[in-house]
Structure 1
Amino acid sequence: MKQKVLCIVAGILLVAIGSLAYFFLYGTKSYSPEATVVYEQGGTRVSVFYNRPYKKGRQIFGSLVPFGKVWRTGANEPTQLETNVPLKFQDQALPAGRYSVWTIPGEQSWTVILNSEIPRWGINFTGEATRNPQTDVVKVEVPVMHHEKEVVEQFTILLEKSGEEMQLTFLWDQTLVAVPFTAQ
């Protein structure tokens, strides 16, 4: 009898844990849908895969996304950048490959980090980023631009040509951060 009760309890726990894991991995994606943005020109192909959370009336930077703390730059999994050619961010080289994108937002500038590890979720159970700083490949600081007339409701990443350079742009709320880079 005891063994039967233990089997039933174990089965219920297994289903509950499985349901919770499924919700964390797939259920939240309806609130922050996946998107991919691609830049292709000549033999250069750069793509960014990310999840797009909504503002929904919330204060974003300095509150939901705290200043001075590592952010996975989107929702759900960390944002990922993939390139088929080496790139250069400021004076730092990024070999061809796939990288996780992390940021440290600030009021006046952001630190943008490309890391060679891509963790499954991007944060732990306490909400802290799971980035390993020892595997950072590129780490650059760029200025923040504020546009007071327009509010961007859904987090957006753009890849665009800007003169001789390309630009990785983050837009959300009234904040715009542009990261220039070149193909090598």
Structure 2
Amino acid sequence: MNLAGRWTLGVGLAVAAWLVISVTPDHREHTAAPVPVPATIGESVEASGMTVTVTGVRMTDGLQPPGGSPISGRWVVVDLAVISRDSDLEDPVGGVGLQLNDTLITSSDLIYREQRIDGFQLRTGLVVSGSILFQIAPDAPLGDATVMIGRRSSDDVGVWSGDQVQLVVDLGAIPLETDLSFEAPTVRAP
């Protein structure tokens, strides 16, 4: 092959590579739109290499953390158990959110005993149980809200890995408790 043929081939390959790059969707587009997996309270569902069971959803006007001082405010408390199905998961539980009135609320950064269930590294065959806390505005209208649980694959808010457990709950139908106590996360064999 002569020099002109080599240059033509090189430029042609570069143009072909540019075309492939320009029509290939960005990876973030895939992680920002997870596949929803509908759930109900008490039902175990499989998503993102884990089995998730939401055992309850409660509302309170104040929290009593384990070993801590009471915290006022309007809170949604989601109790759940999570187990890794396949292997130790690199991404922890952390793709957690509450969609209420077109607003995505992330779980509270309230730390109790330096552990949060929505940051646990899952280990094969061990059940992690605990609560996820969402603080909502005192004047936010209550109605249908969607609890979203997945694995965090990025530090960006709203970015999840693969599947996402989604539980729709009517917050207006949940009785308001006062100074709700909850336990720190536990890890146990099934």
Instruction: Report if TM-score (shorter chain) is over 0.5.
Output: no
Larger Rg: 2
More contact order relative to length (CA 8 Å, sep ≥ 6):
2
